[in-house]
Chain A
């Protein structure tokens, strides 16, 4: 999958000049390397009675790719707009490069934004668009032309200087918007769902390219998206938000493998949830034994290190569909190996999805489970049969994630 692809190929194909690299290094080397680029301290933003961002606390490290991920209305765009200066926090403080930025207008912040629909100036050609920020700072014409050329080379649009932006494809407009922001060497680059308007193939390509570009220039990226795959592909750190609050933050692997609550387990990828009650806790290994409402006993890992659980607590067991295995029921007695759970069930629905197939299996002890099966031998991987056929579902206890609440 895209997550496992290394962006080396894209990096190599980027026409990144040595000059741009040197400038980028200079930009990142201004202050102490350990100061976070952006620090959001107890920020709340209210619009009338609506609280868009609720006591948010986030430290964004230098040179990293951060994604703010969440459904619409979760406060991610508001957070971005507060960093850019288009909105002022109702409470709390934002620090940029260690300095508080309350009251500083957007045009005096060393932050640039790539807007959702690019917001390219229609009455200017590509070069004038990209050079806009430099002209505001009275950069000499020759210098402007040089840096614009460099920025366009960086986004692989060398030679497009005189093009009209509205004659370009969505992907090209996207690159112009990127170049227009990067040419100013911002401390932080903010990206507001910039790939949303592109088609799927181009979007995937741009994801890898953006990540490679970010590594190349070394500028901190803060990327807002509602697309979990996009976040997984590009981010060093994903911050999952909901209702104005941070649900969890961590690198993609951590977030996917160890979601600490039900929302994250559901929003990032998909999960089977089984309601259960704690029977016993092993504090040293952070594991617990639980009994589902229908009497199924499971052992699993408690993902939230801060969670204090005891026998009798209500919890949710989450399992990823791809960790479950399914096979036709051959009538053999279900004698599970140690650590494995085996359940008999019946297929309710099987869906062939090209690279994998998805089965909804109804079991007596765990209700309906979604099982994903990679089609490694093509269509031959399919289970055959149809709805109502008896099957056996099994999974190892390492797949069980015990979520509090």
Chain B
């Protein structure tokens, strides 16, 4: 017995060292990537935000809070972006939830086909897809048609917040559908039967069982959609004719046209802070009471 056991600890020790090495090797490429392309640039942005604009534009080292003061005075682009991203996320959810539910529970053998149909548009460039909406919504087509129905020859779809919202929902829909679909798909169908068996009707079952269980997917999807919508620049530029002045427009203006890097950096820092706060509040709100029961969203142990 003893002789047989002796080599084991040595082997385990060697194995442990090897396994640590492997863990390091697995994490190395991503660590380098994140360090140089995320952490370091973020550090520059934060540092720049306290600096001053050089005479010919760009950045001069200094320490001032003026940039932040200026950002606070002109908070409108933030509010505009926040409004648009919130509305866009909500609308995307409204469209995605029923579709994901259908895919997960009722599509049957056609499931694969539907998922394929959802993915196909992604094989085309995002820009091309957005530009094609110009044609669809233009005066010659949908815009003119709705204008005709309303009897208003001056009616326009393009260049309005409505067109931007439509573009946003269209562009980010799959990012909401897939996390929802995966959680709903994974859900044990007998839970729904159990709920009905215990006296809950369709709606009561959806509210008390399906929705809470799909919540992690819903939160993931909302965050995936909300973040890029906050910083969205291309869609409002193309479908909104750039008429709505969003945080994206403000950043482009500061960095590329006014060449006021410190002010742009301060705006970027505020944008990141706004998103972190919004998402934290959102996750906290969703998690009320759930965390205590061990079924919280994000970071909780899954059932």
Contact = CB atoms under 8 A, between A and B. Distances in A.
Contact of B290 (A85, A120, A121, A123): A123
Contacts of B197: 84, 106-107, 111-113, 181
Contacts, number: 73
Interface stretch (B113-121, B186-194, B236-244): B186-194
A340 to B, nearest CB: 54
A124 B196 contact: no
A136 B200 contact: yes
Contacts of B295: 122-123, 164
B200 A107 contact: yes
A188 B294 CA distance: 34
A133 interface: yes
A119 B193 contact: yes
Contacts of B190: 115-117, 119
A372 interface: no
Interface in A275-329: none
A119 B191 contact: yes
A106 B193 contact: yes
B199 A137 contact: yes
Given A123-B213, A123-B303, A136 B294 contact: no
A133 B199 contact: yes
Interface residues of B, number: 22
Contacts of B204: 136
A166 interface: yes
B251 to A, nearest CB: 41
Contacts of B201: 105, 107
Contacts of B194: 113, 115, 119-121
A227 interface: no
Interface residues of A, number: 31
A132 B207 CA distance: 13
B188 to A, nearest CB: 6
Given A122-B295, A164-B293, A164-B294, A136 B198 contact: yes
B188 A106 contact: no
Interface string B235-272: 00000000000000000000000000000000000000
Given A123-B293, A125-B293, A86 B193 contact: yes
B209 interface: yes
B303 A122 contact: yes
B213 A122 contact: yes
B193 A115 contact: yes
B26 to A, nearest CB: 29
Contacts of B191: 119, 121-122
Interface in A152-201: 164-167, 180-181, 184
B295 to A, nearest CB: 5
Given A113-B194, A115-B190, A136-B204, A123 B212 contact: yes
B195 interface: yes
A124 B195 CA distance: 12
Interface in B178-236: 188, 190-191, 193-201, 204, 208-209, 212-213
Interface string B285-303: 0000010011100000001
Nearest to B187: A122
A184 B303 contact: no
A148 to B, nearest CB: 13
Contacts of B213: 122-123
Interface of B: 188, 190-191, 193-201, 204, 208-209, 212-213, 290, 293-295, 303
Top-9 shortest CB links A-B:
A122-B303, A136-B199, A133-B198, A119-B194, A119-B190, A106-B196, A123-B295, A166-B303, A123-B212
Given A117-B190, A122-B295, 14 more contacts: A105-B196, A107-B200, A112-B198, A116-B190, A119-B193, A119-B194, A121-B209, A122-B213, A123-B212, A132-B195, A136-B199, A136-B200, A136-B204, A167-B294
10 contacts: A84-B197, A107-B198, A122-B191, A122-B213, A122-B295, A123-B293, A132-B195, A164-B295, A167-B294, A180-B198
